[in-house]
């Protein structure tokens, strides 16, 4: 958590609903409609039952879109913080790429990357290393480096922003199918990059990306 918060009334508790109940009573908001971000996907059944029992005259609704719209508005400071974290993520990824080789363990390689972002004031949430049929948290096993080695890095910066960055290192020539897919993705990337102007909807950019991929004969699976 950052040292300084923009929200003055911030509370933390083992059972968040207990603090929510207290805050609602303090602010005399015991009637009407109250929005909760994460109502359907984050809030537990027990917490929902406690809230509805404590406030029978309150209609709890999802506030996901309200919060998402607020979060989409970035100040110059936030944009700079995100760029700084992005640069730190890239340096950590680049360090992983520098040290991997046959015989280097997954943990050794990830530890080198961790040194970079830890020194930059960030902490990690998840580090995954896919190689061959293995894809999981780094283990004390040597890398073969005879096919593809991946690294998925998720870190949280000092400012509280998150960065997720992946890299795939190939220790062989790409197949014709892999090259075709890469060409399609780069073409789609260029299409949406040209669209990226103020006022353009992200959904329109996503549609353009999907259309470009489909035009090249690929099939798209269900969104995850």
7 inside domain = no
Number of folded domains in the chain? 3
Q: Is residue 161 part of a domain?
A: yes
Residue at 182 is within a domain = yes
Are 87 and 156 found together in one domain? Answer: yes
Of 14, 21, 16, the closest CA to residue 56 belongs to: 21
Q: What is the pLDDT of residues 178-211, one digit of tens each?
A: 999 999 999 999 999 999 999 999 899 999 999 9
47-88 tens-digit pLDDT = 999 999 999 999 999 999 999 999 889 999 999 999 999 999
Q: Does any domain span residue 2?
A: no
Same structural domain, 128 and 183:
no
Please tell me whether residues 61 and 85 are part of one structural domain.
Answer: no
Question: Residues 142, 215: one domain?
Answer: no
- What would the pLDDT profile of 12-57 be if each residue is shown by its tens digit? 888 889 999 999 999 999 999 999 999 999 999 999 999 999 999 9
Asked if 138 and 197 sit in the same domain, the reply is no
165/194 same-domain check: no
Q: Which domain covers residue 212, as residue numbers? A: 173-224
167 in the Ramachandran plot: left (φ > 0), alpha (ψ -120 to 50) or beta? beta
- Closest alpha carbon to 166 in 90, 223, 76, 103: 90
| Global model pTM greater than 0.85 | no
64, 81: one domain? no
């Amino acid at each position: 958590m950052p040292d300084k918060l923009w929200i003055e009334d911030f509370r933390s508790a083992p059972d968040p609903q207990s603090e929510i109940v207290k805050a609602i009573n303090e602010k005399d908001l015991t009637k009407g409609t109250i929005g909760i971000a994460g109502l359907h996907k984050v809030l537990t059944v027990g917490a929902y039952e406690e809230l509805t029992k404590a406030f029978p005259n309150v209609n709890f609704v999802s506030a996901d879109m309200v919060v998402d719209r607020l979060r989409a508005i970035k100040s110059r400071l936030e944009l700079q913080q995100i760029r700084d974290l992005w640069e730190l993520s890239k340096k950590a990824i680049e360090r992983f790429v520098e040290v991997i080789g046959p015989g280097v363990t997954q943990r050794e390689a990830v530890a080198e990357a961790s040194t970079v972002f830890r020194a930059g004031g960030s902490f990690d949430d998840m580090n995954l290393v896919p190689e061959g049929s293995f894809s999981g948290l780094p283990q004390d096993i040597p890398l073969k480096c005879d096919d593809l080695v991946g690294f998925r890095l998720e870190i949280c910066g000092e400012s509280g922003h998150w960065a997720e960055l992946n890299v795939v290192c190939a220790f062989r020539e790409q197949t014709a199918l892999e090259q075709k897919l890469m060409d399609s993705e780069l073409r789609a990337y260029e299409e949406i990059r040209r669209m990226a102007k103020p006022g353009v909807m992200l959904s329109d950019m996503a549609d353009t990306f999907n259309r470009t991929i489909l035009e090249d004969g690929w099939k798209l699976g269900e969104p995850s």
